Amino acid sequence: MTKPICLTGIKPTGMPHLGNYLGAIKPAIEMANSNQYDCFYFIADYHSLTTIHQPKLMSQYVYEVAATWLSMGLDPEKVTIYRQSDLPQIMEMNWILSCFTAKGHMNRAHAYKALSQANIDAGRDSDQGVNMGIYGYPVLMAADILFLRTNLVPVGADQLQHIEIAREIVSSFNAVYGEVLVAPEAMVQSETLIPGLDGRKMSKSYQNTIPLFLPEKKLQKLINKIKTDSLPPEAPKDPADSLIFDLYKFFSTKQQQDELAAWFKRGIGWGEAKAELFKVINAGLEQPRARYEELMANPKEIDRILEMGAEKVRPKAQEFLTKVKKATGIIC
């Protein structure tokens, strides 16, 4: 029996951090391991091109992101992992779909709207710095999803609007040509937001992240930067009100958590609490870090894995694109 298709895109914009791992990477890998879906996870390099215009950075981010997923446990035999730009069929699909996309949807898409509002607030022309890639990006995202007849799309809550747009595009297209495209369902991966060093949501935009693969010393240094209050070491502390404890929970067993909670209540120095946090995070990342460094030292191996994925997808992509082109009369 064929399984439903689950697909998600990973935009390469820098080394993933603990928030990305716990909120997106870990659940996606668990989903693939559950064997309920035929999973396709791809590196969305053309999406990054909307903002990243430095060639060295672009290729570095693609490798960093691919190496992160592979070293955190993604099995390329179970998941088809590929580079978006290796499938030109997506670009053809992008154009076809854009001819069925209401311009108004793009005007309302949040990434574009936020940029344009920031320009207006700063008294600049509303389109300053806005390229057509940023403006039309929800169509490309729809093409990424629809070209494989995807059923389920795991995404962060901020992406729900884009899935809704993809569904609207399916309706417009199918209203003309019949049931050709498949309407995808979104699945919000995680409601839990991992806090960053300053207590706000961990995000690259806030520069408060703990990147996944730092040398041990650097990891320790970052953890030492976590914001704390000025209570003296002997003062009892509330684990429920501590950023250190919040992060600790994600990397420890119930028993470890009970022990640390008791130590908090007896009185723990913030330096000691941070050392405990470092220990569990470092233990969790030690093996993946070794694998990550191995892969990053051998980008040809990453290329090989991504190409293997693209080879699996290409025939499906071509076959479906032909069907779509036939529906429109572009091919008769």
Q: Which residues bind ligand TRP (CB under 6 A)?
A: 7-9, 11, 44, 47, 141, 144-145, 153, 155, 159
The sign of the dihedral angle between the CA atoms of 216, 220, 221, 227 is: positive
Q: Which CB atom, from 212 or from 317, has the smaller least distance to ligand ADP?
A: 212
3-state secondary structure of 275: helix
> Whole-number minimum distance, CB 289 to ligand TRP, in Å?
24
Span between the terminal Cα atoms of the chain, in Å:
32
What token pair was written down for 331? 């091919």
Alpha helix (H) ranges present in 160-250?
Answer: 160-177, 216-224, 243-249
> Residue 317 binds what, of ligand TRP, ligand ADP, none (CB under 5 to 8 Å, by partner type)?
none
3-state secondary structure of 98: helix
Report the residue closest to ligand ADP, judged by CB: 23
> Residue 96 binds what, of ligand ADP, ligand TRP, none (CB under 5 to 8 Å, by partner type)?
none
Does the protein bind ligand ADP through residue 203 (CB under 6 A)? yes
What token pair was written down for 285? 């990342």
> Whole-number minimum distance, CB 158 to ligand ADP, in Å?
7
Q: Which CB atom, from 54 or from 205, has the smaller least distance to ligand ADP?
A: 205
How many whole angstroms separate alpha carbon 177 and alpha carbon 215? 55
> Residue 142 binds what, of ligand ADP, ligand TRP, none (CB under 5 to 8 Å, by partner type)?
none
How many whole angstroms separate alpha carbon 27 and alpha carbon 23? 7
Does the protein bind ligand ADP through residue 253 (CB under 6 A)? no
Residues near ligand ADP, by CB under 6 A = 11, 19-20, 22-24, 156, 189-190, 193-194, 201-205
